[in-house]
């Protein structure tokens, strides 16, 4: 069996070399995302039966067709909106993700963004390092006593709810599938999306990106929100219409945004205008808009690193290794599309 790993740093490569795959398995490592590897290099590995990726690789049908023997895509993340699932299902390619690795890790990071945003910690730190002492200039807001709306109460969302409750917040939640135990314990009250929009001082997104919720935070939805609302997104950039968010941040309708994800983030992270030009007009447009968002004083943005703790990365790689071993040995493993 040949396994190709994309989006790898030294730590990832060392882990999978140290914790070996079953006898006879061959591992090939690329530091780049799959779309950034020259086609001739990819064709050299057309016999690959399994591929392991991170969120930056985008698996379109054109790339998948390069691997006629492919039977498994292992994504070292929870989300899988970067993979063409209909193609995989049609061609009997299993897609295995990693669940439960970062329910506390990502929730803690999201709350860290909120604390920094509401108390202007980063701004004050930057000023002091620049020699500016401004004791009364950067007045923030308490979190205690605020109403927090949480959209998506999976493992990460539930932990975020508990953190918010611990800070003395009223927590409203929306999910297609309510967690009755969470509501019974008094941590949250499930309400409609409209209620969350209208009553929340803070809104945090913790749902998967699907075709049905693409840019569901848009101009019309933002208009329903309280003036001065804070928005946190550690889920997927495609959930928010970036243009609408930019306008609301500029006008002050949205007081601030803490973003670990954003549309077309791969272009922003690589700071590559040439990459934008090779994609589409939409990609080019949003690469410019994203840079405008980054430049706003009321925005904290990080490069999709909410997962990045020592403990979470160990869990991610261990889970991925177990999936690859199960596949190689013909044992059962969970697939999101088969």
Which residue, among 240, 231, 237, has the nearest Cα to 264 in the 3D structure? 237
Q: Where are the beta strands (DSSP E) in the chain?
A: 2-5, 26-29, 50-53, 72-75, 94-96, 147-151, 170-174, 189-190, 202-205, 229-233, 254-259, 299-301
- Whose tokens are 């160990």? That residue is 314
Describe the strand order of the beta sheet including 94-96 as a list of residue ranges.
26-29, 2-5, 50-53, 72-75, 94-96
- Phi and psi of 63, rounded to 5°? -75, -40
Q: Which residues contact 175 (CB under 8 A, 6 or more apart)?
A: 151, 152, 153, 154, 157, 190, 207
Dihedral-angle region of residue 167 (phi above 0 means left; psi in -120 to 50 means alpha; beta otherwise): alpha
Length of the chain: 338
Catalytic entry in 215, 236, 263, 264: 236
Distance from C-alpha of 310 to C-alpha of 137, rounded to nearest angstrom: 36
Q: Which residues contact 110 (CB under 8 A, 6 or more apart)?
A: 156, 160, 204, 206, 232, 234, 258, 260, 306
Distance from C-alpha of 101 to C-alpha of 323, rounded to nearest angstrom: 14
Q: Which residues contact 60 (CB under 8 A, 6 or more apart)?
A: 84
Catalytic entry in 103, 238, 263, 265: 265
The answer to whether 265 is a known catalytic residue is yes
Report, as residue numbers or ranges, the catalytic residues.
236, 265, 304
């Amino acid at each position: 069996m040949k396994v190709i790993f994309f989006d790898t740093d030294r730590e990832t490569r060392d882990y999978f070399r140290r914790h070996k795959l079953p006898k006879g398995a061959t591992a090939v490592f690329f530091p780049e995302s799959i779309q950034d590897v020259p086609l001739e290099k990819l064709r050299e590995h057309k016999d690959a039966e399994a591929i392991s990726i991170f969120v930056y690789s985008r698996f379109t049908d054109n790339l998948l067709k390069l691997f006629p023997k492919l039977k498994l895509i292992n994504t070292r993340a929870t989300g899988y909106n970067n993979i063409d699932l209909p193609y995989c299902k049609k061609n009997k390619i299993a897609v295995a993700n990693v669940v439960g690795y970062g329910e506390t890790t990502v929730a803690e990071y999201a709350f860290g963004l909120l604390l920094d945003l509401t108390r202007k910690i980063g701004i004050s730190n930057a000023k002091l390092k620049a020699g500016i002492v401004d004791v009364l200039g950067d007045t923030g807001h308490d979190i205690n006593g605020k109403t927090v709306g949480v959209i998506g109460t999976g493992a990460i969302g539930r932990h975020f709810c508990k953190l918010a409750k611990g800070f003395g917040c009223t927590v409203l939640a929306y999910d297609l599938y309510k967690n009755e135990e969470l509501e019974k314990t008094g941590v949250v009250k499930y309400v409609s999306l409209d209620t969350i929009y209208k009553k929340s001082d803070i809104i945090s997104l913790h749902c998967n990106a699907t075709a049905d919720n693409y840019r569901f935070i848009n101009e019309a939805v933002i208009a329903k929100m309280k003036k001065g609302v804070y928005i946190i997104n550690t889920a997927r950039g495609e959930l928010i219409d970036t243009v609408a968010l930019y306008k609301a941040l500029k006008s002050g309708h949205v007081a601030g945004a803490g973003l670990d994800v954003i549309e077309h983030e791969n272009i922003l992270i690589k700071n590559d205008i040439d990459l934008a030009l090779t994609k589409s007009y939409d990609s080019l447009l949003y690469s410019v808009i994203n840079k405008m968002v980054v430049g706003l004083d009321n925005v904290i943005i990080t490069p999709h690193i909410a997962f990045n703790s020592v403990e979470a990365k160990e869990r991610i790689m261990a889970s991925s290794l177990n999936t690859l071993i199960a596949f190689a040995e013909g044992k059962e493993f969970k697939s999101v599309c088969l």
